[in-house]
Structure 1
Amino acid sequence: MVSELLREGCMEWDTELVKRLFLPQDVEAILSTPLSVSAAADRMVWAEDKKGRFSVKSVYRLARETEAKEGKASCSDPTKLHGAWKGVWRMNLPNKLKHFTWKACNGILATKESLFKRKITADDICEACGSQVETSLHMLCFCNHSTEVWKSCKLSLPFNIQESWGFLDTFSRLRFVWDTQQEKLERWVAICWGIWKNRNEVPHGGAKRPGQVIVRNALRLVDDFQAAIRVPSQSRSCTHDTTRWRPPPPGYFKVNVDGAIFAKSNHSGVGVIVRDGDGNVVAAMCRKLDLPLGVLETEAKALEMGVVFAEEVGLRDVVFEVDSQVLINAIHGTCEAVSSVLNIIQGVLQKAQSFRTFDFLHTKRQGNAPAHLLAQQAQKVEGLAVWLEECPSQVAHACAKDVSLLQSSF
């Protein structure tokens, strides 16, 4: 029974028991399933759909993904090229990286294989390893130097690339599997470009760079480019009211919550702060969760714990604020909740009925700084830490800054 894996008297996983009974991969799958403090009825969910619903489309996608991982997927070249064309120009990358990718997909990079076919070179053997034909994919993924580069990279591929595929096949498969994770495809392309760039520098007197340097320079190019094109929209958003902490209506208290993920330790953190209409701290808390939760799941648990904490403090009229728009939309019913947090959201709404009046609002990260700092503080505590009418110094400083900005706006 699943109930036997829970701590007695509460809806929390008994992590020590789970770790003792199951294999590591199963432990992570179990503990990454968030539980609601309000014991909701069990539901059947389809794991291959974010909303837990079974559909023929999701089965088809699963079958295609499985084929891609096993190296069985295939399609005609025109179809692949058409898909690659769309994939290349939709990437959020500098144009020179897009042009490089398109040339590699079309087999027109100036590799030894391509030059030999045009009778420009005497052979088609890779100069770096001296043993294999220098195709685009060999040079970018299988040559001695390129394998060193990939070992220096933290990007985890969803399947083992086969040298017989060619670059177009590989790009198409990665684009399909990373359909909702385009940033991974962009980073893979950037590293390929970095390998190609250094390969061309060496014959002209350039240095053969270490793998970690190639990875760092390629990813920095992507990060700088994407940061540059985001600057205008960020500058506009900074003037919006939701970037500042706003006081609750007279007689109300505002509860800001946030979550944090500690990837190295496989833990999550939750921060909650309660303030009155003048910005004074009424109570605060942070808690470390021995759970490998995702971003949305951690935010949902933070909101749930904020509601429970507000009730324990004795609040009656409350405004809850979180910086996850997805979560707020699900709370208000303007979008369907993801299956992994549906029970938590239902529990939050049920628990909120204990207040006389309540509301749930969205704020930007800039308006949620104290809660964010408390969530980060959770990494330094064991279990739960609570403060009444005070808080850690860096959190107090952030609260004072909120009040200062509020006063300057009048």
Structure 2
Amino acid sequence: MNQIEASHGICSNTYFSKMENHYVKPGESLLIPIAERLGIDAGLLLSDVIYDENRVNEIAELFWRTGRLGNNELLYFTIVSRESLPTGQLVKVFGVLMRHYVNLCLADLAHKEQARELFELSEAILPKLQGDQFYPDYFNYMLACSSYHADIALDHVNSYKYMAILERRMDAYTELDKARLHYNISLVLDKILEEKSIALAYSAKAYDYFKETKDTHRFIMVMLARGIQFHKVGMLDDSLKMFTEAEQLVDDKNAATFAPIIEFNLGIIYELQQRHDQAIEKFRKCLLMHERRPNQQVYCYRRIAQNALKLKSWPLLEECLLGGMALAEELGMMQDYLEMTYLRNQYWFMKQDLVKYEKEMKRLVDSSLHHEKFTLCRQYADELGQYYYDRNAYKKAAELFKIANDAAKRYRQFRLELGM
């Protein structure tokens, strides 16, 4: 609600603004109706004693057990996160808050700015921890930060760095936490490494654990991850088996979470089987399911465009590239933006507009290198180099092959920096 709505019938909009900006201090007569208007516990605003260790522990325990944080509990944790708490308690509070906001963003990216502010605050307040103190709170906080970078900030390299720190302390964790960590590492490595077999090795460890413990929700998550990784290495039968088995475990409670993922990846399998019309149908269905998840919409646009290119359906290709590239650029999804730019360049090539193809492909190579997308840079430079080679333009071809070779070297250096 805006200031006018929040202040209506309580005080003037001007006075409310002064309270918000700390120019005046409201008394009890104002705080009680304001708290009621906002649907929070007025006692939190009136109490002189804010921090209560037992209450912090109870809220955190309930959150990690249920995954839910009520409005009053959220407000309380937000308040105490600014207090001079013992470090262990601060880690506990920020771990809950970070995971809560990541969960909110996964449902609606409108909370992205709140998540960013909270992450930056936690980085400023929390000391750099050494050893395994405050486990499992330290583990939960670090894993939440990793998820924030992977799912919200779309920075998979920094996401992996958080998990690499946790992985060095594996001996301290329970089997459940090891499985959670292995699962999350597999997702991130799938994004940043060419060698998908490494991601498969990590997800296999999580798969074995959750299958044995019959943790259905997490087991489905791992099955979906492995299904995606299988089709990326060309093991379509294994991929289809994973998605089919996962689909059988989905019920009414988790359908909203898992059905779009299953539909999307069945579309990918259809695409790889050259069943492009069926693939487009699946991706269109997913596009509607992700009405409030623009980043997921980008993936759908890109996949529809790929299949439209195969079918030479030019109006559909143009529609998807127009919507998908604008959205990807707005969200900072550079990998997807570059890949859709490549599809547009393929269109120029197929239409035999070779002047435009050459110009835009060179620009794409430079942009991929600028954004340190070394795998894409190598792919695009190789393709353009081969194009010039086939036309006897050997000098241009040599320049492009050198760029491709340098990109491959930088990718190997990138892996070394990650400790891979």
TM-score, length-normalised on structure 1?
A: 0.27
**More strand by proportion, 1 or 2?**
1
TM-score, length-normalised on structure 2?
A: 0.26
**More helix by proportion, 1 or 2?**
2
